[in-house]
């Protein structure tokens, strides 16, 4: 049943999208909007195909930065959250600092990173990492701390060891919250990588966007936006798909969302 609902929803979303593109096309044609101000969807479509190789190459670079940055933030964020939850010092002294740091716009340290790390891809990866790191660590800490006192009593009565309490009780209990952090993190990673490319890069979609802008090539800019939208959607839904496979009990218990 849920399957059928998805299929129907998918249909109505695509019909709406096609309708909106049609209106856009119509407006451009009817009012003779010049192509250097607003290209038609068909222009953009044909450009996507004709310049496909360039776009794909830069997309690959940006995609790599996003995935590497996000991957690093998961790799460091989850163990860091575990340390914070189990260590009094870290939860009392370090965690509040981390939350405070979250308020600093990570983009603002991009120029510093260029000074330290240079113009290479590593700067982009580090920014994508930093920007995704905080939501991931914060939601993992919240999730890992959400085990109820009674649940702990049950675990004790079952004579579970500390490690077993973590693996059988605490971690599974935290997974929905952890995945929530992943979803925010992956979206922010896309933003981080692109903005980092704006600031310092000679490749990637952010760079392509700047070059197209300088050349007043507005169709190309739209192509970049399309590619970024595709990346964002695909990655977000990939995380959602993994969540659904890993936590079959969770979505269903929320009435399928």
Catalog residues that contact another protein under the rule CB under 8 A: 150-151, 153-154, 156-160, 164, 168-169, 172-173, 175, 247-250, 252-253
Q: Which is nearer to another protein, 179 or 207 (CB)?
A: 179
The region, left, alpha or beta by phi > 0 then psi within -120 to 50, assigned to residue 118 is: left
Q: How far is the CB of 140 from another protein (least distance, A)?
A: 16
Burial profile 24-54: b = 16 or more Cβ within 10 angstroms, e = fewer: beeebeeeeeeeeeebbbebbeebbeeeeee
Q: How far is the CB of 77 from another protein (least distance, A)?
A: 21
Q: How far is the CB of 168 from another protein (least distance, A)?
A: 7
CA gap 84, 47 in Å, rounded:
50
Write a three-state SS string for 2-48: HHHHHHHHHHHHHHHHHHHHHHHHHHHHHCCCCCCCCCCHHHHHHHH
Q: Which two tokens mark 169? A: 């009780």
Q: Which is nearer to another protein, 2 or 156 (CB)?
A: 156
Q: How many CB atoms lie within 10 A of CB 110?
A: 21
Q: Which is nearer to another protein, 92 or 161 (CB)?
A: 161
Q: Which is nearer to another protein, 69 or 176 (CB)?
A: 176
Q: Which is nearer to another protein, 104 or 252 (CB)?
A: 252
Q: How far is the CB of 101 from another protein (least distance, A)?
A: 32
Q: How far is the CB of 40 from another protein (least distance, A)?
A: 49
């Amino acid at each position: 049943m849920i399957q059928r609902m998805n299929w129907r929803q998918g249909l109505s979303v695509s019909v709406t999208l096609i309708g909106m593109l049609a209106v856009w096309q119509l407006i451009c044609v009817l009012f003779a909007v010049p192509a250097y101000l607003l290209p038609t969807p068909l222009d953009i479509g044909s450009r996507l195909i004709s310049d496909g190789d360039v776009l794909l190459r830069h997309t690959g670079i940006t995609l790599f930065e996003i995935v590497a940055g996000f991957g690093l933030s998961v790799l460091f964020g989850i163990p860091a959250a575990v340390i914070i939850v189990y260590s009094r010092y870290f939860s009392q002294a370090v965690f509040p600092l981390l939350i405070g740091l979250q308020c600093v716009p990570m983009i603002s340290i991009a120029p510093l990173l260029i000074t330290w790390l240079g113009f290479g891809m590593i700067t982009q990866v580090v920014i994508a990492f930093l920007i995704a790191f905080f939501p991931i660590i914060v939601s993992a800490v919240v999730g890992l701390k959400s085990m109820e006192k009674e649940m702990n009593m049950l675990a004790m009565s079952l004579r579970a060891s500390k490690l077993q309490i973590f693996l059988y009780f605490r971690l599974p209990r935290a997974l929905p919250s952890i995945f929530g952090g992943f979803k925010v993190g992956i979206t922010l990673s896309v933003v981080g990588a692109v903005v980092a490319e704006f600031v310092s890069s000679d490749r990637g979609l952010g760079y392509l966007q700047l070059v197209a802008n300088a050349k007043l090539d507005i169709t190309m800019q739209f192509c970049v936006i399309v590619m970024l939208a595709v990346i964002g959607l695909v990655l977000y839904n990939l995380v959602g798909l993994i969540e659904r496979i890993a936590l079959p009990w969770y979505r269903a218990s929320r009435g399928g969302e």
